[in-house]
Amino acid sequence: MTSIWLVALASVAIIFLVKEFIKRRKLPPGPIRLPLIGNLHMFGENLHQDLYKIAKKHGPIMTIYFGLIPTIVASSPYAAQQFLKDHDQIFASRPYHAACYYIFYKQRNLIMGKYGPYWRHMRKLCTLQLLNNVKINSFQSMRKQEVQILVNFLIKAASNRDVVDLSAKLASLSANMACLMVIGKKYNNVDGDFKDMIQQTSHMAATPNLAELFPFLRFIDFQGSVLRMKQIAESCDEFLENVIDEHTRQYSSDQSKTSIDMVDTLMEIMQSGEAEFEFDRRHVKAILLDLLVASMDTSSTSIEWILSELLKHPNVMKKLQSELDNVFDQKGIVEEKDLKNLDYLNMVIKEGFRLHPVAPLLLPHESIEDCTLDGFQMPKGSRVLVNVWAIGRDPDVWREPEKFIPERFVESTIDVRGQNFQLLPFGSGRRSCPGLQLGLTIVHLVVAQLVHSFDWELPNGMMPNDINMTEKFGLVTARALPLMAIPIYRLHNK
């Protein structure tokens, strides 16, 4: 009897293995993998850099095994275009992610939502109601005020010749702007648990869980990580419930409230019943968490990288200051409406995004059906990473790719908005960043203001070339070491 069971079991295993073999036979090439761990042994601290090196050997469309999970990695503009434009709809979903499943309401959020009618409705709502130009402009005076607070702090630091931790200051500016816009309160004024919670959420969302690498472990919680995710999910939920309750109370006691944050807008939509799909408190909470996580570090990290490059390249800094002086003259205050007239600023920012895209592998995409692409067959459920960091360094596309040369964009029509596959800091296609306009506005504004108002000196006799540009891979890839500099106020005599 036992032997019959053994034979049956062996047959099932063989059929499974043969099916898997057939399914994966026509996947793109890739490095030899080890049993069970796949190619995990090939990765150090910066996944995007390792994938870049591996792609040089195995090609711009390759297969990498993270544990048992095959993942297709695209590393050239042509490959990116295949996935994000020519087969955009097929690759517009997101894979299962344990932390996002627990924390973001069973992945019912926009960032990690599965492609389908629900995600489409959520995306439309966010794009049309929360991230449109009118809404973004309605927060213009708030942004101006927050930037002015930072400038005042820096003027004081300049008079004492203090060394400033610019990374920390930019993170706090960006978090304050995000919180004021989304929940109507400054980050500095919300309780410590919230800060901790957002940081842990980002950390969990960036870290693969064992169950994602080895699906057969999905039901075993080895590291207690599922328990941890559930605890974070509970504190997030509690926090968001309080935010919504507070807004509801304020709204019923003061109907004439003038400043409308994003919670107000979402509550209005929910109460009006006008949403074209099921839209209740759970959905409001999922969007709020998305907006907070997506907007908090992305802009500040981009600014941090661009300023690092400017400190490393004093000649570029001087040229930019001279452009800013012509437009902003004696006023000192950078106005958002004038930013579009600044060609060199635009080039500096594009060059910063090329070398330092804050999401170097975008977010993972997943296919919703079988697909044949460039002669390869990819089964439904294939995961895709687009290495935009590698694309920004592709020597077939960029001359002297490792160098920071904003002038390369003179008379070039290449832009960051997703139409040019050589430069994709915001992605492209259906899953591209809906916060692009807001992100770009903040980056332009802050870089322009900090460069216009201040000269920057490096501490301890450091030379520009000594600035350490090591990266720390994460959901947002930031500098490994904080950017420290001494501000020197330059508008005294103007």
Q: Is 392 in the site for ligand HEM (CB under 6 A)?
A: no
CB of 363 to ligand HEM, least distance (A): 4
The answer to whether 126 is annotated as binding is no
d(CA 61, CA 73): 6
Query: Which residue lies nearer to ligand HEM by CB, 110 or 166?
Result: 110
Distance set, CA 109 to CA 179, 229, 278 (Å): 18, 16, 13
User: Pick from 146, 212, 290, 323: which binds ligand HEM (CB under 6 A)?
Assistant: 290
Among the listed residues 352, 435, 474, 487, the single contact to ligand HEM using CB under 6 A: 435
- The type of residue at 369 is E
Which residue number, 28 or 357, has a Cβ lying nearer to ligand HEM? 357
Point out the residue whose Cβ comes nearest to ligand HEM.
435
According to the binding rule CB under 6 A, does residue 294 interact with ligand HEM?
Answer: yes
Query: Judging by DSSP bridges, how do beta strands 164-165 and 69-74 pair with one another?
Result: unpaired
Phi and psi at 139, nearest 5°, equal -100, 10
Kindly tell me the burial class for residue 90, based on how many C-beta atoms sit within 10 Å of its own C-beta (0-12, 13-18, 19 or more).
Answer: buried
- Torsion angle, alpha carbons of 389, 395, 398, 401, to 10: 60
CA 189 vs CA 96, 182, 249, 469: distances in Å: 34, 14, 19, 32
Near ligand HEM in 308-367, by CB under 6 A: 358-359, 362-363
Site string for ligand HEM, 122-161 (x = CB under 6 A): -x--------------------------------------
Angle at 404 between CA 166 and CA 397, to 5 degrees: 135
Q: Are 285 and 237 in contact (CB under 8 A)?
A: yes
Judged by CB under 6 A, the chain residues 411 through 430 that form the site for ligand HEM are 425-427
State how beta strands 69-74 and 484-489 pair. Answer: unpaired
Which C-beta is closer to ligand HEM: that of 362 or that of 450? 362
Binding part of the chain for ligand HEM, among 63-71, 291-299, 444-452, 457-465 by CB under 6 A, reads: 291-299
Instruction: Decide whether 296 or 397 has the Cβ nearer to ligand HEM.
Output: 296
Instruction: Give, for 234, the enclosing helix (H) or strand (E).
Output: helix 225-253
Site string for ligand HEM, 250-289 (x = CB under 6 A): ----------------------------------------
Q: Which of 81, 172, 298, 387 binds ligand HEM (CB under 6 A)?
A: 298
Examine residue 81 and tell whether it contacts ligand HEM (CB under 6 A): no
Listed residue (365, 413, 411) closest to 388, CA to CA: 365
**Which of 404, 119, 174 is closest to 301 using CA atoms?**
174
Cα separation, 65 vs 246, whole angstroms = 47
Amino acid at 291: L
39 vs 30: CA distance, rounded Å: 9
Figure out which of the listed residues 71, 295, 382, 422 binds ligand HEM, where binding follows CB under 6 A. 295
- Structural contact between residues 353 and 423, judged by C-beta atoms closer than 8 angstroms: yes
Q: Which is nearer to ligand HEM, 157 or 355 (CB)?
A: 355
Q: Which of 38, 77, 434, 474 binds ligand HEM (CB under 6 A)?
A: 434
Nearer to ligand HEM, 118 or 489 (CB): 118
CB of 143 to ligand HEM, least distance (A): 12
Binding residue for ligand HEM (CB under 6 A) from 39, 302, 346, 477?
302
Query: Which of 7-15, 201-209, 314-322, 438-446 is the region at the interface with ligand HEM (rule: CB under 6 A)?
Result: 438-446
> Element (H or E) spanning 302, and its range?
helix 281-312
Number of residues that bind ligand HEM (CB under 6 A): 25
The smaller minimum CB distance to ligand HEM, of residues 136 and 378, is found at 136
Nearer to ligand HEM, 54 or 287 (CB): 287
Tell me the closest approach of the beta carbon of residue 417 to ligand HEM, in angstroms: 12
Tokens 């304020």, residue?
250
Quick check: 432 binds ligand HEM (CB under 6 A)? yes
Is 387 or 453 the residue whose CB approaches ligand HEM more closely? 387
Cβ closest to ligand HEM, residue 214 vs residue 392: 392
Closest to 153 (Cα-Cα) out of 170, 136, 132, 138:
170
CA dihedral for 24, 28, 390, 40, sign (positive or negative)? positive
- Within 106-125, the residues that bind ligand HEM by CB under 6 A are 110-111, 123
Find all residues with CB under 8 Å of 360, minimum gap 6, and list them.
Answer: 48, 387, 388, 389, 473, 477
Q: How far is the CB of 366 from ligand HEM (least distance, A)?
A: 11
CB 83 to ligand HEM: min, Å: 9
Question: What are the tokens at 428?
Answer: 């492209």
Which residues lie across from 488 on neighbouring strands?
Answer: 455
Nearest-angstrom CA–CA distance, 341 and 352: 19
Binding residues: 433
Binding site listing for heme: 433
Where do contacts with ligand HEM occur on this chain (CB under 6 A)? 110-111, 123, 290-291, 294-295, 298-299, 302, 358-359, 362-363, 425-427, 431-435, 438-439, 443
